Amino acid sequence: MNAHARKVVKEEPLIIMQLPSDANSTGRDFKGMELGFLKEVLDSGTLNCVRGTQVKTFEKDFAARYGVASCRAVTSGTAAIHCAVAAMNLEPGDEVIGTTITDMGAITPILYQQGIPVFADVDPVSLNVTPETVAERIGPRTRAIIATHLFGNPCDIEGIQAVGAKHGIPVIEDCAQSYLATQNGKLTGTIGAIGCFSMQQGKHMTTGEGGMVITNDPAHARHMRLFSDKAWGYEDPKPDHYFLALNYRMTEMQGAVARGQLAKLDSVVERRQMMAAYLDYLLGETPGVTLPKALPGSTHTYWKYALTVDPEAVTGGVDALAKQLKDSGVFCVPRYVVKPAFECEVLAKRNTYGSSSCPYTCTKNAGGAPPSYDRADYPGTILGLDRVLVLPWNEHYQPEHVEFIAGRIKSAVAALRQPQFAGV
Ligand SMILES: Cc1ncc(COP(=O)(O)O)c(C=O)c1O
């Protein structure tokens, strides 16, 4: 377009809709019970959970909602994973299988417990580990499996549990993103040996920061409770600091907010699912775009709404589509975490304890084959990251928000459609 033409063409004003966000009060709700419970805490003068009642009540309520014997509230999802890994009582150099696409909080606790993270590849569409990819990584030093239910979409956790059981290896479910998601009628977090949750700002329920571990195994329950509190045996006749452990106690203020949030959780999940179903309906069959889909018998609870984009059908793939969407007012994240966990410096450069590279180099099992942190061994991960486009999702979305998002996606895909898909 020349300078003259630029002057005479009148551009349509771009209508931007403000979408609710989990970063602030447009997409978070702390009204009602949270305030009442918080006032109770402050009025009581007891802010610490050892003496207070809020965290204890929250743990009881969470256990009742999940139908499990034991819950322990902690300071973050990372702390929850750390408690679960600690319960595995690793020997230095033992291996724990994790997922290549997850939060680093699901991986570094393995190193803190002197374990070596080994990775299972993921399915390129769901970006979840599978029973097959986990089974491929089991070796003589494997002591646990951590399976993340990414974006709120359950992995085949029953299949992974069966693989673990065959080898006597416990499964830790990372449910930071999958509150109330189910598989064959069972809640994620109750299928493996231990379930871990995060209550960080953007999760289905939040206390700003926070976490939870759940289990039906009394030995795991005791170990995790002790680990979260300097291994001091409060209720024992002769308490002591029994083993190496930290302080991951949740405060009473967090416990108060968590109780209110838990009471809202079912409704939060229902609203997220309803609006996700509406977006599925509006997008329908969009060539080049695969919509998120739960495995048969599973329910997805939509922490995020993740699409897969085929660059053969959409010119420029996820990057071009993301740019168009952002320019037209729909925030989104192409490629999610951008690179697999094993390419982050902490793992790739073994930046652990000083310059030692422990536990990779200084364990009694040293000398075994090192884990593969080579992307050539993870084709599903590389393909999945190249194609995933993550849309924020929120329980405060209304039909008009979803219609806005769908409209923008459809226009962007139409504008980028490769000629051979033009008539589709
Ligand atoms: C899948 C997954 N695991 C673990 C974590 C760690 O949780 P936190 O940030 O509360 O430490 C997160 C966090 O955001 C997560 O999404």
Ligand 1 centroid from CA 423, angstroms = 43
Contact 301, 204 (CB under 8 A): yes
Q: Which of 78, 107, 213 to mutate to test the pocket of ligand 1 (most atoms within 8 A of CB)?
A: 78
pLDDT tens sequence across 225-252: 999 999 999 989 999 999 999 999 999 9
Residues of the chain with pLDDT > 70: what percent? 95
Percent of the chain's residues with pLDDT above 90: 91
Ligand 1 centroid–CA 369 distance in Å is 29
375 C-alpha vs ligand 1 centroid, how far in Å? 23
Query: pLDDT value at position 4?
Result: 46
Task: Please check the confidence at residue 143 and state whether its pLDDT lies above 80.
Answer: yes
Q: Which atom of ligand 1 is nearest to the CA of 200?
A: 10
What is the rounded CA–CA span in Å between residue 145 and residue 134? 8
Nearest to 134, CA basis, from 124, 144, 126, 125: 144
Mean pLDDT of 10-33: 87
3-state percent breakdown (helix, strand, coil) of the chain, nearest 5: 40, 15, 45
What architecture is the 33-261 domain classified under in CATH? 3-Layer(aba) Sandwich (3.40)
Q: Which of 83, 146, 198 to mutate to test the pocket of ligand 1 (most atoms within 8 A of CB)?
A: 198
Q: What is the pLDDT of residue 16?
A: 84
Residue-wise pLDDT tens digits, 1-19: 444 444 555 556 677 899 9
- Are 309 and 389 in contact by the 8 Å Cβ rule? The answer is yes
Residues flanking ligand 1, CB < 6 Å: 76-78, 102-103, 105-106, 148, 174, 176-177, 198, 200, 211
Summarised one tens digit per residue, pLDDT across range 269-323 is: 999 999 999 999 999 988 899 999 999 999 999 999 999 999 999 999 999 999 9
pLDDT per position as a tens digit, 38-62: 999 999 999 999 999 999 999 999 9
Q: How far is the CA of 146 from the centre of ligand 1 (A)?
A: 13
> Which whole number is the average pLDDT over 324-331?
95
pTM for this model (two decimals): 0.95
Q: What is the mean pLDDT of residues 213-224?
A: 98
CA of 196 to the centre of ligand 1 (A): 9
Cross-strand partners of 120: 99
Q: CB under 8 Å, gap of 24 or more: what pairs does 5-11 form?
A: none
- 370 pLDDT band, cuts 50/70/90, is confident
Q: What is the mean pLDDT of residues 108-129?
A: 98
